[in-house]
Amino acid sequence: MIHFENVGKRYAEGGEALSGINLQLDAGEMAFLTGHSGAGKSTMLKLIGLIERASYGQVIINGKNFSKLGRRHIPYVRRDIGIIFQNHKLLNDRTVFDNVALPLVIAGQPHRDIQRRVHASLDKVGLLDKERMLPLSLSGGEQQRVGIARAVVNKPPLLVADEPTGNLDPALSAEIMNLFAEFNQVGVTVLIASHDIDLINRMDKRVLVLDKGRLIDGAGEQGEVLQ
Amino acid sequence: MARQATRRSPRRSATRVTSTDAVPKRGTSTVRRPRGKGWLRGYFKGHFQALFLSLGRVSRNPLSSLMTIAVIGIALALPAGLHVVLKNVQGVSAGWEDAVQISLFLNQSIEAAEARRLVEKISAMPSIEEVVHVTPQQALGEFRQYSGFGDALEVLDENPLPNVLLVRPIKEASEPLMVELLLHELRSLPSVEMAQLDMEWLKRLYAIMAIGERGVLVLAVLLALAVLLIVGNTIRLAIQNRRDEIEVQKLIGATDAFIQRPFLYSGLWQGMLGAVMAWLLVTLSLWLLHGPVQQLSLLYNSNFSLGSLEPVGILVVLVAGGLLGLLGAWLAVGRHLRDIEPT
Ligand SMILES: Nc1ncnc2c1ncn2[C@@H]1O[C@H](COP(=O)(O)OP(=O)(O)OP(=O)(O)O)[C@@H](O)[C@H]1O
Ligand SMILES: [Mg+2]
């Protein structure tokens, strides 16, 4: 599902954020991405979400080689990747329902399906009773859950989350992580960047460790073979 | 670097080295594009949504939209109004063409009978409406009656006045160029001593109106450019205001077409509402002018009444407004939407 081959990323200003990354994450796997601040976690997720392009190497997600992908195709590829951001990136002038419905509206789904699937998605994250509220009137954890509901509403095969529990209390963090584990159980591939070591340890999943832009642990067999 | 992983998921141990082609796929992995039966329906639905979404935006931001619409209205009203004025002037002057008349002074030697034959000949020409024959006797009589030199004329042995034919061309042949041709033709008749046409003033009027028409055209083009800039600027600001929203939409897979649709439609709305405003402005101005014009035409014993924008004109203004709005929005969208990429 996620395949990195000798991937590096150099930002226009600043040094190399990622260098020589080899990684193989199979469909249906769930893994955590950790490392010190500035290690390159967000950069790696941005490469997966096509928000940034690799400076060299091959990023192949869901069978599609991103280095060969034209600008026109980017939107369609992004629809198959559910991304969750630490700062939620919700539209604050739209209701919770409208926010969650957005991916379906963008994909041109029929109205009836939208209603049903948004409700299913909100039910999953336990916010069905808040659908008419605006995001800013929700708590941080609730906003994060709206973001998750939006990311999963069109059933993408891959979910990536950048510090989804960044500023939540431990109980809430655990709750959100369990939500991800539930999605993983129904076959969704999940990759979560986090530096909440305790929580990661409790989840007992594969852990990828980044250090100064290099993947020093959990690369997967292929990565290890290549190195 | 290739240390053993400290923690592995159970599934991890089952991972095998796979070639890039053999990356396992699960779930829906195809690049989804709108295709198949529901495609067209989806396409129109998308446009329908955007159409009303954009109207909602226009109405949600009434002040700035109203300002833009007003400026577009004034910009379109100017050329439209001048066009109406020109049309009216042309209408009036078309009436004056009836007065076009060529006076043919025949040679002194021409007898009355021959003059009558000439009248018949000229009357038979297709571009002639009417020929009036003024004999020397009639002319002398009139001269006597109106000049007050009647007594002086008694001194003369014979009538010094020639046969005169007053030729009036048909309406279609009354515009300057045609009349000029006719004049030339009549002048070259052997029995005609002199042919006279006083319509220099009409020529000048036509020349002035041609300048006016050209001026309205130039003004219309300039103001159309202004409308483009106005709409473009409004849409640019709207895009900037919605930067975050556009970013989020792009992040979750919105195509450029999806994102730009509401902006294009709000350009269209603004242009068309601006055109409606222009029409109202022109109608209002004409209504204000109606009274004074009526008075003036009464003074000239004319039943002239001020014409307003004809239906075709209204349609042209509406279409022009809509197209300009759409084009302005399209230019702005093309320039500014690409710059917004999620980070
Ligand atoms: N847009 C950018 N332009 C230039 N340099 C950048 C940009 N984004 C990230 N970097 C640099 O790349 C490196 C990796 O950044 P990244 O955001 O991926 O780290 P991170 O692991 O997510 O850190 P954190 O845990 O603090 O979120 C950092 O040194 C950062 O300064
Ligand atoms: Mg980060």
Mean pLDDT of chain A, nearest integer: 89
Residue scoring higher pLDDT (A186 or A71): A186
Compute the average pLDDT of residues A145-157: 93
- Same domain for B157 and B265, yes or no, is no
- Same domain for B171 and B288, yes or no, is no
ipTM of the prediction: 0.89
In a domain, B60, yes or no: yes
What residues in B contact A29, CB-CB < 8 Å? Answer: 9, 11-12
Query: For position B199, what pLDDT does the model report?
Result: 67
d(CA A192, CA A183): 13
- Residue pLDDT, tens place only, A106-125: 998 888 889 999 999 999 99
CA A11 / ligand 2 centre spacing (Å):
15
d(CA A74, CA A53): 11
Interchain proximity B24–A218, CB inside 8 Å:
no
- Which sign does the torsion angle of CA B92, B94, B98, B102 carry? positive
Residue nearest to atom 6 of ligand 1 (CA): A11
- Same domain for B61 and B149, yes or no, is no
Q: Is B252 helix (H, G, I), strand (E, B) or coil?
A: coil
- Same domain for B181 and B283, yes or no, is no
Query: For position B56, what pLDDT does the model report?
Result: 63
Tokens 């006016």 found at: B212
One-letter amino acid at A134 equals L
- Same domain for B114 and B194, yes or no, is yes
Asked if B307 and B91 touch (Cβ cutoff 8 Å), the reply is yes
Compute CA distances B150 → A132, A144, A171, B155, whole Å: 104, 112, 126, 10
Q: Name the residue facing A91 among B25, B245, B256 (closest C-beta).
A: B245
Query: For position A207, what pLDDT does the model report?
Result: 93
- Same domain for B266 and B294, yes or no, is yes
- Same domain for B145 and B82, yes or no, is no
Asked if A192 and A180 touch (Cβ cutoff 8 Å), the reply is yes
Q: Cα A76 to the chain's mean position, in Å?
A: 16
Structure tokens at A103: 């991916």
Using the 8-state DSSP alphabet, how is residue B4 labeled?
P
In a domain, B20, yes or no: no
Q: Report how many domains make up chain B.
A: 2
In a domain, B234, yes or no: yes
Residue nearest to atom 12 of ligand 1 (CA): A17
One-letter amino acid at B217 equals L
Residue of B nearest to A50 (CA): B251
The B128-134 sheet, strands edge to edge: B128-134, B164-169, B102-106, B192-197
Structure tokens at B222: 């300039």
CATH code for the domain in which residue B110 is found: 3.30.70.3040
Structure tokens at B7: 């923690």
d(CA A134, CA A130): 9
Query: Which of B198, B217, B250 delimits the end of a domain?
Result: B198
DSSP alpha helix (H) spans, chain B: 39-60, 62-96, 112-123, 136-147, 150-154, 176-187, 200-241, 243-251, 256-299, 311-336
- Residue pLDDT, tens place only, A16-48: 899 999 999 999 999 999 999 999 999 999 999
Testing ligand 1's pocket by substitution, the residue of A11, A47, A51, A210 carrying the most ligand atoms inside 8 A of its CB is: A11
In a domain, B13, yes or no: no
What residues in A contact B31, CB-CB < 8 Å? Answer: 64, 73, 76-77, 80
Q: Cα B57 to the chain's mean position, in Å?
A: 30
- Same domain for B185 and B306, yes or no, is no
CA B218 / ligand 2 centre spacing (Å):
57
In a domain, B6, yes or no: no
Q: Over B136-196, what HEC string results?
A: HHHHHHHHHHHHCCHHHHHCCCCCCCCCEEEEEECHHHCCHHHHHHHHHHHHCCCCEEEEE
Asked if A148 and A84 touch (Cβ cutoff 8 Å), the reply is yes
Share of chain A above pLDDT 90, in %: 63
Q: Name the residue facing B31 among A73, A105, A188 (closest C-beta).
A: A73
Ligand 1 pocket member A43 (CB < 6 A) = yes
Residues contacting B101, CB < 8 A, separation 6+: B166, B167, B168, B197
- Same domain for B158 and B225, yes or no, is no
Asked if B83 and B313 touch (Cβ cutoff 8 Å), the reply is yes
Q: What is the pTM of this model?
A: 0.70
- Same domain for B211 and B326, yes or no, is yes
CA A20 / ligand 2 centre spacing (Å):
19
Q: Is A198 on the interface with B (CB under 8 A)?
A: no
Query: Which of B198, B229, B254 delimits the end of a domain?
Result: B198
Ligand 1 pocket member A11 (CB < 6 A) = yes
Size of chain B in residues: 343
Interchain proximity A217–B5, CB inside 8 Å:
yes
Compute CA distances B282 → A126, B285, B304, B308, whole Å: 59, 5, 19, 8
Q: Is A224 on the interface with B (CB under 8 A)?
A: yes
Compute the average pLDDT of residues A60-80: 90
d(CA B294, CA B290): 6
Query: For position B55, what pLDDT does the model report?
Result: 63
- Same domain for B155 and B181, yes or no, is yes
Interface of B with A in 235-294 (CB under 8 A): 244-245, 247-256, 258
Torsion angle defined by CA atoms of residues B6, B11, B16 and B17, in that order, rounded to the nearest 10 degrees: -60
Residues in chain B predicted with pLDDT less than 50, given as ranges, are: 1-35
Q: Name the residue facing B18 among A24, A201, A206 (closest C-beta).
A: A24
Query: For position B169, what pLDDT does the model report?
Result: 85
DSSP alpha helix (H) spans, A66-139: 74-78, 96-106, 111-124
Asked if A184 and A190 touch (Cβ cutoff 8 Å), the reply is yes
Residue nearest to atom 11 of ligand 1 (CA): A17
In a domain, B178, yes or no: yes
In a domain, B310, yes or no: yes
Q: Cα A91 to the chain's mean position, in Å?
A: 18
Distance from the B72 Cα atom to the nearest Cα atom in chain A, whole angstroms: 29
Ligand 1 pocket member A170 (CB < 6 A) = no
Residues contacting A212, CB < 8 A, separation 6+: A39, A40
> For residue A9, which ligand has an atom nearest its CA?
1
Residue nearest to atom 13 of ligand 1 (CA): A17
Among candidates A138, A143, A170, which has minimal Cα distance to A84? Answer: A143
d(CA A219, CA B148): 124
pLDDT band at A165 (very low <50, low <70, confident <90, very high): confident
Structure tokens at B299: 């003074």
Range of B323's domain?
A: 45-95+204-336
Q: Is B1 on the interface with A (CB under 8 A)?
A: yes
- Same domain for B118 and B165, yes or no, is yes
In a domain, B15, yes or no: no
Residue of A nearest to B338 (CA): A71
Q: Is B246 helix (H, G, I), strand (E, B) or coil?
A: helix
How crowded is the C-beta side of A146, counted as CA atoms within 13 Å?
30
Query: Which of B150, B167, B198 delimits the end of a domain?
Result: B198
Size of chain A in residues: 227
